[in-house]
Amino acid sequence: MKAAFITYNQAHIEEVERVLNQLAIRGYTRWTDVQGRGSKDGEPHLGSHAWPAKNMATLCIIEDSIAPLLKKMLRGVDAAAPKQGLRVFFWQMADV
């Protein structure tokens, strides 16, 4: 199992939900009004007067076999609007 942590501009919410639905990823936790700045370039998303954009984050636990497909589909969403920003990170989950 893997944990997929997806961070994205709020403008991507419908596309992220579409990808999760297409992959039958039903369970997730979403945070709204997440602030941040990309590590390479791009503008900060701070929800302030100077930097009004906001981010969101979604965490879902998925089967290992789904991770490459989720990454590929989300990269497609990001490529369609690269200035908006979307990243996905994976962690291996331990079953204890």
Q: Give the ranges where the chain is alpha helix by DSSP (H).
A: 13-22, 67-80
- Per-10-residue mean pLDDT of the chain, 96 residues long, equals 95 96 97 82 72 89 97 96 91 86
pLDDT of residue 95: 75
**Rounded Cα distance, 20 and 23, in Å:** 5
Beta carbons of 33 and 57 less than 8 angstroms apart: no
pTM of the model: 0.89
Beta carbons of 30 and 56 less than 8 angstroms apart: yes
All structural domains of the chain with their residue ranges:
2-92
Q: Does domain 2-92 have CATH number 1.10.10.10?
A: no
Q: Token pair for residue 9?
A: 């501009």
